[in-house]
Amino acid sequence: MLNKPFTILGKEIPKGERTVLDLEVAKLHTRTTLKVPVIIERSLNPGPVVLLLAGVHGDETNGVGILREIIDQKINKPLNGTIICIPVFNIFGYLIQTREFPDGRDLNRMFPGSLNGSLASQFAYQFTKEIAPHVDYVIDFHTGGGERDNIPQIRINNDDEKGLELAKVFNPPIIVFSNNIAKSLRESIDKLGKTVLLFEGGKSKELNASVINEGVNGAKNVLIYLGLIEGEITVKEPSVYIKKAKWLRALHSGMFKISVKNGARVKKKEVLGVIEDPFGEFKKKIYAPFDCHIFCTNKTPIVNKGDALFHVSVE
């Protein structure tokens, strides 16, 4: 409660003030200290603490773009409660535009971390110990990895009633029911009894205006709903629910051309794309095996047999 001292990273956060703290990652071999800015906006009034987080994977820049717009539009200035923004969580990866930490590990598979583990594990431990206990809700912004392009979506656990309530308020095009991944930030937050929404939108190494707009509007809806800011919740149209999904994989290697729009609902036997050889000798069509929604496509121009091409609903 905000009538008690609110202390984070060893510093008491005054009511009604903006505070920027640094979560120290490590020192480079050049003795330069890398720090992650943590932007805290605390209102004068009591209310929940919401964490908006991006850049767990350093090359997922759409999430960083979403947080940047939220801060620029002053959406993170609450009338009640506290909003914490961490626009670039994996500062190492962001600097060189890579998914991993310098030790080669995926930070999102290292939670809750350990005090004396790998560099990524130690950083995860700092977050779990110093920040996670102080928040009530988390929205974690991600994109598809590599050339995998995700339609804006919220992912929640099957049995997460509070998460589903907030996902509906966020109002993304797609709501995907998926279990927590072991040692992910999402699993760690969930085990602490907090509510977490995982946003996926676009692909790595891009700033997609449409995806960023979806993320900003969705986060704003949630903040309004939780009573932190004023405004009207904007609902475009009901979200599509995906309770079970599978990847359609390449049956051949070759040049990959997509024929359908990402996010589309397709009918059984509809042509989704083609795989061609570079010598003009074969062209293999990819058909929808059943009626389904496509919510992720592989944008790479060259694929190998077995590569994931389309992530689709199983109805």
Is the pLDDT at 197 greater than 80? The verdict is yes
Cα four-point dihedral sign 91, 114, 144, 82: negative
Is there a contact between 205 and 158 (Cβ–Cβ < 8 Å)? no
144-165 pLDDT per residue, tens: 999 999 999 999 999 999 999 9
**How high is the pLDDT of residue 68?**
98
**How high is the pLDDT of residue 1?**
41
Q: How many CB atoms lie within 10 A of CB 179?
A: 12
pLDDT, greater one: 102 or 225: 225
Is the pLDDT at 2 greater than 60? The verdict is no
Residue listed under structure tokens 């051309």: 257
d(CA 280, CA 258): 18
Mean pLDDT of 51-64: 97
**How high is the pLDDT of residue 126?**
94
Looking at the chain, the whole-number percentage of residues with pLDDT higher than 70 is 99
| Secondary structure (3-state) at 233 | coil
61-88 burial code (b ≥16 CB/10 A, e <16): bbbbbbbbbbbeeebbebebbbbbbbbb
Looking at the chain, the whole-number percentage of residues with pLDDT higher than 90 is 91
